[in-house]
A and B are shown apart, each in its own frame.
Chain A
């Protein structure tokens, strides 16, 4: 079945640094890919998504490109802020439909002033 692997955290950066969080996937067919973010004490919320190869999802300065050739969907941001400190989850749709998502283990990001 479909699965997703993302880099282990925590990732610790200084404010205004460049961020990359790696995500690779294994899938049959053509899944949609997602990044969700979880701020402390809150539920997950959708950050961005891409539904087909070479699509770029973007939101709040974050970007990720659906790379079928490398089966990757790495999350990037050019200049992080303290307010970006959160846990980031990569996810993809499961085979079999019914809107089921497969989530990665999550990567904690800590941004210091």
Chain B
């Protein structure tokens, strides 16, 4: 299995631009998580899905952030408009719905820099 796939790996954009981050979870996994990692705040859970349905989005910082999961193999995290304080590494993770359900498998991350 290829593991969790994220794209792009690096993104540099200017303040005010729209940013879309993409994630393909491991096939057969029922849960998908979006995290943000910064030096100041550490690892933060933004939102997670179960069977493509958002379960908890209480970690989404503000209305500029939105996430979708149109099908079991694809999710997006969108920031519009972006701001310099959004600069961070964004991780996607997935976990199976049964069996080893508590273990999360992380993607390599997208490093976002907003100028």
8 A Cβ contacts from B24-79 to A: 31, 42-43, 45, 48, 50, 55-56
Q: Is A99 engaged at the interface, CB distance under 8 Å to the other chain?
A: yes
Cβ of A42: which chain B residues have Cβ within 8 Å of it? 108-109
CB contact under 8 A between A103 and B102, given known A44-B91, A98-B48, A98-B56: no
Cβ of A45: which chain B residues have Cβ within 8 Å of it? 105-106
The reply to whether B103 and A105 form a contact with Cβ atoms under 8 Å apart is: no
8 A Cβ contacts from A69-97 to B: 89, 93
Q: Is A2 engaged at the interface, CB distance under 8 Å to the other chain?
A: no
Residues of B near any A CB (own CB < 8 A):
4, 31, 42-43, 45, 48, 50, 55-56, 91, 93, 95, 101-109
Q: Can you sample 15 A-B contacts with CB below 8 Å?
A: A36-B106, A43-B109, A44-B93, A44-B106, A46-B104, A46-B105, A51-B102, A93-B102, A98-B48, A98-B50, A99-B102, A100-B45, A101-B45, A106-B42, A106-B43
10 further A-B pairs in the complex, CB-CB below 8 A; given A32-B102, A51-B102: A42-B108, A43-B106, A43-B107, A44-B43, A44-B93, A89-B43, A99-B48, A99-B95, A100-B56, A103-B43
List of 3 A-B pairs having minimum Cβ-Cβ separation, nearest first: A43-B106, A44-B106, A105-B42
